[in-house]
Amino acid sequence: MAQKVIKTGNSLAVVIPSKITKVMGIKRGDSVKIKSISERANIILSFPKLMQLPLSLGRIQKKH
């Protein structure tokens, strides 16, 4: 699932699709921890108040 980076104020942001927010129970104002792994170009987001679920294409699929 590819997302575009957008500009918001003086920062950049990536939108979390509504399907993912519903599955994980993410709400506006929730805290998120960000960890970057620069040698692999990965960013890991953790929502401390939520039960963590793996975000893989196999778990969140579009309905046809």
> Which residue segment(s) compose the domain that 36 sits in?
5-46
Instruction: Write out pLDDT tens, residues 3-41.
Output: 899 999 999 999 999 998 888 888 999 999 999 988 888
Confidence at residue 39, expressed as pLDDT on a 0 to 100 scale = 84
Q: Residue 57: pLDDT band by 50, 70, 90 thresholds?
A: very low
The CATH number for 41's domain is: 2.10.260
Confidence at residue 4, expressed as pLDDT on a 0 to 100 scale = 92
Confidence at residue 51, expressed as pLDDT on a 0 to 100 scale = 59
Confidence at residue 64, expressed as pLDDT on a 0 to 100 scale = 45
Counting the structural domains of the chain, the total is 1
How far is Cα 40 from Cα 64, in angstroms, rounded to an integer? 33
Instruction: Write out pLDDT tens, residues 39-51.
Output: 888 988 888 776 5
Q: Is 62 contained in some domain?
A: no
Residue pair 33/45 in contact by the 8 Å Cβ criterion: yes
Return contacts of 19-23, CB within 8 angstroms, 24+ apart: 19/60, 20/55, 20/60, 23/53, 23/59, 23/60
